[in-house]
Amino acid sequence: MFGNTTRHLSWVRNYTEATSVFNKRGAVRSKKWAENERPLYKTYHHYRVVKHPEYYDVVLYSTVMARYHEPTMVDGKKHERRLYMGGNSITSKDFMYHVLGVSRSHTTELADGTKVVAPIYNRSSLHNDGVSFSADFIFVDGFLDPAHSVHTPHYRMVSGNDDKAARAEILKRFDNFIMLAQMRLPEFVASAELSNGKGRPWGSGMQTYHYREAVEAIAHYDPPPQSMVDDFFEMCQDAVNVLASKRAYDQKGFTLDYAWRNNQNDSIDKLDKPITAEDLRKTVSTRILKALDLDKKSVKQTIPQFVVEKDYPRSNVHW
Q: What is the pLDDT along the chain (319 residues), one digit of tens a residue?
A: 444 578 889 999 999 999 999 999 989 989 899 999 999 999 999 999 999 999 999 999 999 999 999 999 999 999 999 999 999 999 999 999 999 999 999 999 999 999 999 999 999 999 999 999 999 999 999 999 999 999 999 999 999 999 999 999 999 999 999 999 999 999 999 999 999 989 999 888 777 899 999 999 999 999 999 999 999 999 999 999 999 999 999 999 999 987 555 667 899 999 999 999 999 999 999 999 999 999 999 999 999 999 999 999 989 999 9
Spatial separation of the C-alpha atoms in residues 71 and 79, rounded to whole Å? 5
Q: Pick from 135, 146, 257, 144: which is nearest to 194 by CA? A: 257
Pairing of strands 47-51, 143-144: unpaired
Spatial separation of the C-alpha atoms in residues 84 and 135, rounded to whole Å? 5
User: How many residues are recorded in the chain?
Assistant: 319
> In the prediction, which pLDDT does 260 show?
59
Spatial separation of the C-alpha atoms in residues 24 and 233, rounded to whole Å? 70
CA of residue 222 relative to chain centroid, distance: 41
Question: Of all helices (H) and strands (E), which one includes residue 199?
Answer: helix 196-199
Question: Of all helices (H) and strands (E), which one includes residue 281?
Answer: helix 277-291
